[in-house]
Amino acid sequence: MRNLTDMLEELHIRDLALMDEAVLEFEPGYTAVTGETGAGKSVLLGALSLLAGNRADKTVIRQGQEACEVAATLHFAEPERIDVVLEELGLPACEDGALVLRRVIHRQRAAKIQVNGAMATLGALQEIGGHWIDFHGPGEPQKLFKGRHQLAMLDAFAGLADELETYRGGYDEWQALLDQAEQLRTADRLDEDEQEFLSRQIARIDQVEATEESIAALERDFQRLDRAQELAELAGQLESGLCGDEGAVGLLGAMQRAAYELARLDPESAGLSERLEAAIIELQDLGGEFARLAAEADIDPESAEALQVRMTAWLEIKRKYGPTVEEVLARREEMAARLEAQSDIEGTLEKLAAEAAALEKKLRTQAAGLLKKREAAAKTLGTEVRALLKRLGFKKAGFEIAVHGGKALGPVGDSDCEYLFSANAGQELLPLNRIASSGETARVMLALKAVLARADHTPLLVFDEVDANVGGEIGAEVGRELASLAGEHQVLCVTHLPQVAAQARQHYVVTKAQGDDSTAVSISPLHADRKAREEELARMLGDRSSASAREHARSLLG
Q: Is the pLDDT of residue 296 over 70?
A: no
Q: Is the pLDDT of residue 140 over 50?
A: no
For 195-244, how does the pLDDT look when each residue is reduced to its tens digit (9 = 90+)? 888 888 888 888 888 888 888 887 777 777 666 656 666 766 777 777 77
pLDDT-based confidence at residue 321 (cuts at 50, 70, 90): confident
For 248-273, how does the pLDDT look when each residue is reduced to its tens digit (9 = 90+)? 877 887 788 888 888 888 888 888 88
Q: Coil, strand or helix: which one is 429?
A: coil
For 400-459, how does the pLDDT look when each residue is reduced to its tens digit (9 = 90+)? 999 999 899 999 999 999 999 998 888 889 988 787 566 677 778 778 877 877 667 789
For 151-208, how does the pLDDT look when each residue is reduced to its tens digit (9 = 90+)? 988 998 899 989 999 999 999 999 999 998 888 787 767 777 888 888 888 888 888 8
Dihedral pair phi/psi, residue 72, rounded to 5° = -145, 150
Instruction: Quote the CA–CA distance of 248 and 252 in Å, as a whole number.
Output: 6
First-to-last alpha carbon distance for the chain, in angstroms, is: 26
Q: Which residues of 215-235 are buried (b: 16+ CB within 10 A; e: fewer)?
A: beebeebbeebeeeeebbeeb
Averaged over 462-476, what is the pLDDT?
75
Ramachandran bin of 96, using left for φ above 0, alpha for ψ from -120 to 50, beta for the remaining angles = left
pLDDT-based confidence at residue 142 (cuts at 50, 70, 90): low
Q: Coil, strand or helix: which one is 25?
A: strand
Query: What are the start-end ranges of the H helices in 435-529?
Result: 438-452, 472-485, 498-501
Q: Is the pLDDT of residue 1 over 50?
A: no
Residue 225's pLDDT is 67
Residue 436's pLDDT is 55
Segments of 176-235 assigned E as strands: none
Q: Which residue did the predictor score with more confidence, 293 or 121? A: 121
pLDDT-based confidence at residue 2 (cuts at 50, 70, 90): very low
Instruction: Quote the CA–CA distance of 370 and 71 in Å, as a whole number.
Output: 42
Residue 425's pLDDT is 83
- The set of residues, in sequence order, having a beta carbon less than 8 Å from that of 56 and lying 6+ positions away, is 46, 49, 50, 105
Instruction: Quote the CA–CA distance of 292 and 286 in Å, as a whole number.
Output: 10
Average pLDDT, the chain: 86
